[in-house]
Structure 1
Amino acid sequence: MKVIGFVLNVIWLLFCGIWMAIAYAVAGIICCILIITIPFGIASFRIAGYVLWPFGRTTVEKPDAGAPSCVGNVIWFVFAGWWLAIAHVATSIPLFLSIIGIPFGWANLKMIPISIAPLGREIVASDEGFAGR
Structure 2
Amino acid sequence: MRTVLNILNFVLGGFATTLGWLLATIISALLIITLPLTRSCWEITKLSFIPWGNEAIHIDELEPQSKNSLLNAGGTVLNIIWLILFGWWLCIMHITAGIAQCLTIIGIPVGVANFKIAAIALWPVGRRVVSVETARAAREANAHRRFQ
| Interval containing the TM-score (normalised by the shorter chain) | 0.7 to 0.9
Offset at residue 42 of structure 1 (A): 2.7
Partner in structure 2 of residue 72 of structure 1: 78
Query: Which residue of 88, 93, 96 maps to 1:82?
Result: 88
Is 1:102 aligned with 2:108? Answer: yes
- Distance in structure 2 (CA, Å) of the matches to 1:10 and 1:89: 19
Is 1:20 aligned with 2:17? Answer: yes
TM-score, scaled to structure 2: 0.78
Find the residue that maps to 1:13 and give its secondary structure: helix
Q: How big is each residue's C-alpha offset from its partner over 1:61-119, in whole Å with a ceiling of 9 and x where there is no partner?
A: 11235111111111101111011000011111211111111111111101122111111
**Which amino acid counterpart does residue 60 of structure 1 have in structure 2?**
I
**Which amino acid counterpart does residue 102 of structure 1 have in structure 2?**
I
Q: Give the number of the structure whose residues are more often helix, by fraction.
A: 2
Contact 2:21 2:42 in 1 (8 A): yes
Is 1:32 aligned with 2:24? Answer: no
Partner in structure 1 of residue 5 of structure 2: 8
Structure 1 gap ranges (5+)? 128-133
Partner in structure 1 of residue 127 of structure 2: 121
Partner in structure 2 of residue 130 of structure 1: none
Contact 2:44 2:56 in 1 (8 A): no
- What is the count of residue pairs matched by the alignment? 124
Residues 62-71 or 16-25, more deviating: 62-71
Partner in structure 1 of residue 63 of structure 2: none
Structure 2 gap ranges (5+)? 61-66, 134-148
Partner in structure 1 of residue 57 of structure 2: 60
Q: Which contiguous aligned blocks of 4+ residues in structure 1 show a shift greater than 4 angstroms? A: none
Note the aligned Cα RMSD (angstroms). Answer: 1.3
TM-score, scaled to structure 1: 0.86
